[in-house]
Amino acid sequence: MYNEKYSGVIKKLDQQRLTVDINEELNIERLKTMYFNYDGEREIELRFTDPRRFTAEQRRFIYALLGDIYAFTGEPIESLKDYFYHVYEALTGSKISLADASANTMTDVTLLADIILDFVFEWDIPFKKGYEILPANQEYFFYKSIVCRKCCICGKPADICHIDTVGMGNNRRKIDHTKHYFYAGCRIHHGEEHRMGTQNFLNKYQIIPTKLNEETIKRLGI
């Protein structure tokens, strides 16, 4: 099967122009065949990867997620791990392992953690006491908390909360919500925010507020 994904090393960066050494030869004739003999300009996606080996903290985070899934479903952790490994391989075409001898990178394991977080939110797996989210997974975790309406602190059903207030007298239906920040908080934790003040609340729980695009705002009915 033709592989349309290539990896490479950046050799030169000049403003918006990159020079890249691709790790395998680019087959132009197969590209033309794949795209019905089109030989014009093509758009590509550029993704920077972290070449460092994954960390012990990442492994602990993934096992904490697997532990919560096990507590809720009763499925053994090794079986869960094998399942998510297979999902990762299906999505990327590459194998992954958390073993000590593994050469997988921080970027690889960040993606694995996001796949498991998807499962946690989709199947409404309860959080034990919330998670100490690793920096690489924080943005995705807080976004998923919002779209699934699940408290980012305790995992209970949540409201979508504005961080910066809409303001007295403003019509919520007429303001541009894409310019505001949100988090998902249950009634208890949302009330705690109001009692202790927003910034103190965010600092206490290490919450990173999230902006939403227009499509997501419309889908959530904000």
pLDDT in tens, 22-61: 766 766 666 666 566 666 666 666 666 667 899 999 999 9
Residue of 163 and 146 predicted with greater confidence: 146
Are 158 and 191 in a shared domain?
Answer: yes
**Considering only CA atoms, which of 103, 97, 52 is closest in space to residue 78?**
97
Grouping H, G, I as helix, E, B as strand and the rest as coil, residue 197 is coil
Determine the Cα angle at 73 with ends 67 and 74, to 5°: 75
For residue 124, how far is the Cα from the chain centroid? 17
Are 181 and 162 contacting, i.e. CB atoms less than 8 angstroms apart?
Answer: yes
Residue 209 lies in a domain: yes
The angle, 0 to 180 degrees and rounded to 10, between the axes of the packed helices 77-92 and 106-122 is 110
Are 104 and 152 in a shared domain?
Answer: no
Mean of per-residue pLDDT scores for the chain: 83
Which domain range does residue 81 map to? 52-126
pLDDT of residue 175: 75
Residue 33 lies in a domain: yes
pLDDT of residue 176: 83
Are 68 and 43 in a shared domain?
Answer: no
Are 207 and 187 in a shared domain?
Answer: yes
Q: Residue written as tokens 């492994």?
A: 59
Question: For the chain, what is the domain count?
Answer: 3
Are 66 and 86 in a shared domain?
Answer: yes
Are 44 and 67 in a shared domain?
Answer: no
pTM beyond cutoff 0.95? no
pLDDT beyond 90 at 108: yes
The stretch 174-186 carries a mean pLDDT of: 88
Residue 132 lies in a domain: no
Residue 106 lies in a domain: yes
DSSP readout, 64-91? HHHHHHHHHH---HHHHHHHHHHHHHHH
Helix H or strand E segment including 110:
helix 106-122
Grouping H, G, I as helix, E, B as strand and the rest as coil, residue 9 is strand
The stretch 130-155 carries a mean pLDDT of: 84
Residue 133 lies in a domain: no
Residue 38 lies in a domain: yes
Q: Order across the sheet with 181-185: list the strands.
A: 159-162, 181-185, 210-211
pLDDT beyond 50 at 169: no
Query: Domain boundary at 126, 156, 182, which?
Result: 126
Are 41 and 59 in a shared domain?
Answer: no
